[in-house]
Structure 1
Amino acid sequence: MKSIYFSLPMILSALMVSSVSQAKDNLPVLEGPYLGQKPPGLMPEPFAQGIVTTEGFDDGGVFSPDMDEFYFIRKRIDNNKFETVIYKQEGNQWVETISKESRPFYPFFSPDGKTMHLGKQYRERTDTGWSEIKNIEVSFSEINIMSLSTSLKGTYAIDERHPEEHGLLRYSRLIGGKREAPKPFSKEINSGTRNSHPFIAPDESYIMWDGIKDSGFGNVDLYISFRQHDGSWGDAINMGDKINTDAYEAGPKVTPDGKYLFFVRNMGSDKFENVDIFWVDAHIIETLRPRK
């Protein structure tokens, strides 16, 4: 009888394959809206704990306009590389896929669902899916855009990648079918430092972003400004101790159905080794709206 020898690498490889297979088998079946998660109330909760939100770095948290895809960025534990994870709803179940793009991303979708914004670039919805990546207008070419959101009227709200500097937020409107050059938001919004990741409401009734101000809790916090009757923007309002802590909170965005606010919070050290995705009932925005 021939003897069969197994090398240590072969054994380890087999164990790894077995572990991965068992891990996949142990994952819960994700069925129903929002990856099958129980919706939160007015107190933020980690989104899809152990599935999307883990003990590692998880950033973003964006649903597609038809709510059947979910995008976020994950840092892999095995090689410390970032990747874009996409959960797609097939039938009534959600299936995980990894983007084949060369760089990680999570998009901001236009409210009408026709455009996927990727900073200074974008894709358009076609009959066969998303178009190739295109560059936005020349007037934006000198701005190192990190995040861009847009309203139903086509107004852009953009930031600039200067995390240690002032952090100027700008807007650009569509006027007569033509896009105006980007202009800074008013001082009510552009006070303080590190202003980033703006989210403008589809109806332009408010804008949210993150930054550092004297009214904060000691680190980057989420802020909101409501549109006034005269069209100006109201004072920046810290979104309160249910949302903000003495840690880093950033990246506010509301789901396309208008029901939930997503944001991220640093749960680890200043090295950001553990960033979690949170969600909360979007009614919390209305609790902050100044009374008439």
Structure 2
Amino acid sequence: MKRFFISIALLLPCVLSSSSFAQSNFPLLKGPYMGQKTPGLVAQPFAPGVISKDGWEIEGVFAPGMKEFYYTTRAADGKKIIVIGFRQQDDVWKKYLQFPRNGEVTFSPDGTRMYMADGYKDRLNDGWSERNTLGPMFDREDRGIMRLSASAKETYVHDDYKGGDVLRISTLENGKRTEPQLMSDNFNTGEWTAHPFIAPDESYLIWDSERPEGFGGSDLYISFRQDDATWGPAINMGESVNSDKWDAYASVTPDGKYILFNRGIDDNGNIDIYWVDAQIIETLRPKS
């Protein structure tokens, strides 16, 4: 599977689920991480039967503060693509927001900005502003951005499917935004290269790509920042994370503890959200 993919019915017998997203049909979830049992060093479905169920569930991400969770799915009509937001209120997770998808949702490390491809929303009181454009460097006809990821220094890394399925990087220099530059072949090798996630401190970058040495379909790769500020080699994140199917769209939870990503389940367009302990990153980090 290439850019999009979709999920398996891992329904828990004790959990209510529905094609409707009405709160009355949503199970009572309490506690951290949407009330889910956390995974170890082998990837597991996230919220099976609740979020990851029969259908198309992608781009799961927690907002900084870990009190909000967002994911993308199809609306009840099976056509519209929507983002659904949940918020933890009095320890209970409740749906509070739904809007049409216009780019993959990511967040600034301080949680004040929601990025969506070449646009963004700023946090306003208890909600979000209208979507604004990032400007002509990003909002242009010859660029195709699915995900833009930002570091604490406001370095932007984004994919570009119109430019040949590549990753580009843009930094702030003396307060001015630089034109996004093509990243090296370390990143832009293989097919379907996309969906970058840069660590808030810029110590690593995760993305997905289909390469001959992979496990099958797109795999997740990681590169670590070197002492000389260059990027190290692309490292396949291994069989504890990747499968013989399509694995993509990784992001690390704002508390740094878990990696959320998507996995294609079958050839019928089913995708689930998976997660794994972020300690896997340290097992992959080259020893100096």
Q: Same fold (TM over 0.5)?
A: yes
Counterparts in 2 of 1:114 and 1:79: CA distance versus 1, 3 Å:
closer
Q: Distance in 1 between matches of 2:219 and 2:230?
A: 23
Counterparts in 2 of 1:155 and 1:230: CA distance versus 1, 3 Å:
same
Aligned to 2:57: 58
SS in 1 for 2:165: coil
Deviations 1:161-182 (A, max 9, x none): 34xx841100000111111110
Q: Distance in 1 between matches of 2:209 and 2:48?
A: 26
Q: Distance in 1 between matches of 2:150 and 2:64?
A: 13
Aligned to 2:170: 172
Paired residues of 2:151 and 2:200 also in contact (CA < 8 A): yes
Deviations 1:124-168 (A, max 9, x none): 223453222111132223322110000011100000134xx8411
Q: Distance in 2 between matches of 1:240 and 1:176?
A: 39
1:146 is the counterpart of 2:146:
yes
Aligned to 1:268: 266
Aligned-residue sequence identity (percent) comes to 46
Over the aligned positions, Cα root-mean-square deviation in angstroms equals: 2.2
Paired residues of 1:72 and 1:105 also in contact (CA < 8 A): no
1:287 is the counterpart of 2:286:
no
Counterparts in 2 of 1:183 and 1:106: CA distance versus 1, 3 Å:
closer
Counterparts in 2 of 1:40 and 1:128: CA distance versus 1, 3 Å:
closer
SS in 1 for 2:209: strand
Q: Distance in 2 between matches of 1:40 and 1:123?
A: 31
Aligned to 2:201: 203
Paired residues of 2:256 and 2:278 also in contact (CA < 8 A): yes
Aligned to 1:31: 30
SS in 2 for 1:234: coil
Counterparts in 2 of 1:289 and 1:176: CA distance versus 1, 3 Å:
same
Paired residues of 2:72 and 2:101 also in contact (CA < 8 A): no
1:41 is the counterpart of 2:37:
no
Tell which has more relative contact order, 1 or 2 (C-alpha 8 A, sep 6+).
Answer: 2
1:91 is the counterpart of 2:90:
yes
2:145 corresponds to which letter in structure 1? Answer: I
Paired residues of 1:62 and 1:106 also in contact (CA < 8 A): no
Deviations 1:9-41 (A, max 9, x none): xxxxxxxxxx999x9767532111111111111
Matched residues, number: 268
Q: Distance in 2 between matches of 1:229 and 1:20?
A: 50
Runs (4+) of structure 1 exceeding 4 A deviation are 23-27
Q: Which moved more, 1:281-290 or 1:25-34?
A: 25-34
User: Larger Cα Rg: Structure 1 or Structure 2?
Assistant: 1
Aligned to 1:239: 237
SS in 1 for 2:186: coil
